[in-house]
Amino acid sequence: MLLSENHSNLNYVSVDFSLNSPGICIYQDDTNQYHFISYIKEGQGTKKERAWQEDISHLKGVTLLHQPDWPKSSEYSSGELLKIKRYIATADILVQLIISITQTKQDYIISFEGSSYGSAMGTNNIIDMAAGAAILKERMLSDLDVHDIFTIAPTSLKKHAGKGNMNKSALWDVFLNNVLEDKILAKHPIHNFCVNEIGPSKKIPKPFDDLVDAYFLTDYIRTLKANTVE
């Protein structure tokens, strides 16, 4: 089904996928609210950042869970098998979280942020991320009634937020200042927390960088739908 088709009460689920801290932003037409999900690896960030993670885990409209301590193997083949099992388990957990939050399996628009191939992640990490994201997409398509699924380039999100060449710090400032004048975001506890507890920063702490990207992705897709001629 195409985005231009008319469906009431859509559930927008936007994913900034990473192996150690995938961030998800959900918007539901029927509740007119955002819900943020972080599934972060234990121990990510500084002591202060981990304290912030604990703080936001108690906020309304936020779900933060820590990943289990995945086993490792020195054998290449066993290591690859463990990776796939990890990706499958992660997909299962994230999809069940989405269903639990939205209270439905119906009427979804799914979007993922595309990979930034100019980054310094390395080829193996990019391949691993692509594999993990593909398994999550497959599980979403299997378990949810998905009307459409998108992969949006990072530059498109930055253009939507202001400029296509913005760095992470500039995008963070756009979020803090609510440049898009999103009244729903302005009332959300996580936005208030970011403004009052963290503030401007050149290095965006985990998992806020992932959640901010997921938010802009949600707003981008919602705007795309609103501007589509029915």
30-50 confidence digits (pLDDT tens): 999 999 999 999 888 899 999
In a domain, 76, yes or no: yes
Q: Determine contact, residues 63/34, Cβ cutoff 8 Å.
A: no
In a domain, 6, yes or no: no
Report the candidate in 228, 217, 229 with the shortest Cα–Cα distance to residue 27.
217
Regarding pTM above 0.85, the answer is yes
- Residue 96 confidence (pLDDT) above 80: yes
- Looking at the structure of the chain, the number of domains it has is 1
**Residue 194 binned pLDDT confidence (cut-offs 50, 70, 90):** very high
In a domain, 2, yes or no: no
User: Could you tell me how far CA 44 lies from the centroid of its own chain?
Assistant: 17
CATH code where residue 114 lies: 3.30.420.10
At 188, give phi and psi (nearest 5°). -75, 135
Return mean pLDDT, the chain: 89
Query: Minimum mean pLDDT among 82-86, 103-107, 178-182: which range?
Result: 82-86
Work out the burial of residue 32: count CB atoms within 10 Å of its CB; fewer than 13 is exposed, 13-18 middle, 19 or more buried: exposed
Percentage of residues in the chain having pLDDT higher than 70: 89
In a domain, 180, yes or no: yes
**Residue 183 binned pLDDT confidence (cut-offs 50, 70, 90):** very high
Structure tokens at 33: 């609210």
At 25, give phi and psi (nearest 5°). -120, 125
In a domain, 77, yes or no: yes
For the residues 143-168, what does the mean pLDDT come to?
Answer: 93
| Position with higher pLDDT, 51 vs 125 | 51
CA distance 186 to 176: 9
**Residue 3 binned pLDDT confidence (cut-offs 50, 70, 90):** very low
In a domain, 29, yes or no: yes
Full domain range(s) for residue 179? 11-226
- Residue 141 confidence (pLDDT) above 80: yes
CA distance 81 to 147: 32
**Residue 2: predicted pLDDT:** 40
Q: Annotate 168-223 with DSSP letters as a single string.
A: HHHHHHHHHTTTT--HHHHT-HHHHHIIIII-S-SSPPTTHHHHHHHHHHHHHHHH
**Residue 227: predicted pLDDT:** 79
In a domain, 151, yes or no: yes
**Residue 1 binned pLDDT confidence (cut-offs 50, 70, 90):** very low
Report the candidate in 11, 4, 28, 2 with the shortest Cα–Cα distance to residue 145.
11
CA distance 16 to 56: 18
In a domain, 4, yes or no: no
